[in-house]
């Protein structure tokens, strides 16, 4: 009796869910949600070709150094790299003395404690320190950016769909609002202190264009001209490295693992052919016929 009641209750619950699903789908199809400016004018990130792309990708050290220079001179004024230490810059090709100089000359000092008074203080960074935040805390960061909190860039290419392509498109995507947008959505005008960018989720973001003109960062001789496009590409490549500094090792061991599995598969196939296939034939079970079937077989052969 209890089982029958539970079965009926389950069937009733399933029926209600099915009816709700059908009604919901029907209502959505008959009354689709109204179009929004974000759904119609948001753009997907443009493709970005980097040396680190693909399963065999490797970092371009010279490009990473240019990207670090763009971060240092442009992005570090608002964005932190709290998961990256100065000593990690050795992987970019910097010597130990250069790393020490970069840390010592960093514009933002590291929070510390005065050992004599116990009061909060700051000190020069050392290679073992992580890149310090340009703001003392979240409140100070919001106060300096119209209540918008600049995100930490350590893992930004992992945290945003599109990765490096998103970063590059965002940095080069600032423009005036299209006339079609304002004509179709008059209330979607970009508010004061915000900036229109179709690659951002809601089209308007608080960060002003950080890269505004060619030559904003001066590259060393032998590097490409520092156009806005080039600087955006370089800093995007640098942020790929900050998010995954061991990418080259992962690619290298991935290739080794794939080759090992292929080799092991070939060995397993030949082992099967040389050993197990023959053993399988020798141990194949024989079918025992019933006496009546055997008698019929003998009579058939005799005829």
pLDDT in tens, 175-192: 999 999 989 998 889 998
- Of the pLDDT bands very low, low, confident and very high (cuts 50, 70, 90), residue 296 is confident
What is the chain's mean pLDDT, rounded?
A: 88
Q: Which pTM does this prediction carry?
A: 0.80
Mean pLDDT of 259-284: 79
Element (H, E) at 203: none
Q: State whether residue 205 is helix, strand or coil.
A: strand
The pLDDT-based confidence of 208 (bands split at 50, 70, 90) is very high
How many whole angstroms separate alpha carbon 271 and alpha carbon 206? 64
Least confident of 32-46, 59-73, 201-215: 32-46
The pLDDT > 70 percentage for the chain reads 88
Whether 288 shows a pLDDT value over 70: the answer reads no
The dihedral built from the CA positions of residue 79, 83, 88 and 93, taken in this order, carries a sign that is negative
Q: Is the pLDDT of residue 30 over 90?
A: no
- pLDDT in the model for residue 25: 67
Beta strand pairing call for 204-205 and 195-196: antiparallel
11 pLDDT higher than 90: no
Question: How many percent of the chain have pLDDT more than 90?
Answer: 61
Buried b (16+ CB within 10 A) or exposed e, 202-214: ebbbbbeebbeee
pLDDT of residue 133: 93
Cβ(200)–Cβ(44) under 8 Å? no
What are 121-167's pLDDT values in tens digits? 888 999 999 999 999 899 999 988 888 999 999 999 999 999 999 99
Instruction: Report the pLDDT value the prediction gives residue 273, as an integer from 0 to 100.
Output: 82
Tell me which DSSP letter residue 75 carries: G
Condensed to tens digits (0 to 9), the pLDDT of residues 224-256 reads 999 999 999 999 999 999 999 999 999 899 989
Whether the pLDDT of residue 90 is over 70: the answer is yes
DSSP string, 221-238: TTSPP--HHHHHHHHHHH
What is the predicted pLDDT for the residue at 152?
Answer: 95
Q: What is the mean pLDDT of residues 42-67?
A: 94
pLDDT at 28 over 80: no
Assess whether pLDDT exceeds 70 at residue 277.
Answer: no
**Nearest to 134, CA basis, from 88, 72, 46, 189:** 72
pLDDT of residue 266 exceeding 60: yes
Cβ atoms 235, 153 nearer than 8 A: no
Question: What local confidence, expressed as pLDDT, does residue 279 receive?
Answer: 65
Q: Where are the alpha helices (DSSP H) in the chain?
A: 2-30, 37-41, 61-73, 96-104, 138-143, 156-159, 164-172, 179-184, 228-243, 247-271, 277-282, 291-302
Confidence of residue 195 (pLDDT cuts 50, 70, 90): very high
């Amino acid at each position: 009796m209890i089982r029958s009641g539970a079965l009926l209750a389950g069937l009733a619950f399933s029926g209600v869910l099915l009816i709700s699903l059908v009604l919901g789908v029907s209502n959505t199809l008959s009354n689709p949600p109204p179009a929004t400016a974000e759904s119609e004018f948001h753009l997907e990130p443009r493709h970005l070709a980097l040396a680190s792309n693909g399963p065999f990708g490797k970092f371009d050290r010279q490009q990473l150094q240019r990207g670090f220079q763009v971060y240092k001179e442009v992005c570090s004024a608002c964005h932190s790299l709290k998961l990256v230490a100065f000593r990690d810059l050795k992987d970019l090709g910097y010597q130990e003395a250069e790393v020490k100089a970069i840390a010592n000359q960093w514009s933002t000092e590291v929070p510390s404690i005065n050992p004599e008074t116990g009061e909060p203080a700051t000190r020069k960074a050392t290679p073992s320190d992580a890149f310090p935040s340009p703001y003392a805390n979240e409140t100070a960061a919001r106060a300096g950016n119209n209540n918008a909190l600049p995100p930490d860039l350590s893992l930004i290419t992992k945290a945003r769909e599109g990765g490096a392509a998103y970063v590059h498109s965002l940095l080069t995507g600032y423009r005036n609002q299209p006339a079609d947008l304002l004509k179709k959505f008059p209330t979607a005008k970009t508010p004061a202190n915000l900036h229109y960018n179709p690659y951002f989720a809601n089209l308007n973001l608080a960060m002003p264009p950080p890269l505004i003109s060619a030559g904003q960062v001066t590259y060393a001789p032998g590097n490409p001209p520092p156009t806005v496009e080039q600087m955006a590409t370089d800093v995007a490549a640098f942020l790929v490295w900050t998010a995954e500094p061991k990418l080259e090792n992962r690619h290298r061991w991935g290739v080794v693992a794939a080759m090992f599995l292929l080799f092991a598969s070939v060995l397993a196939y030949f082992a099967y052919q040389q050993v197990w296939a023959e053993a399988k034939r020798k141990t194949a079970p024989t079918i025992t016929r019933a006496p009546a079937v055997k008698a019929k077989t003998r009579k058939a052969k005799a005829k």
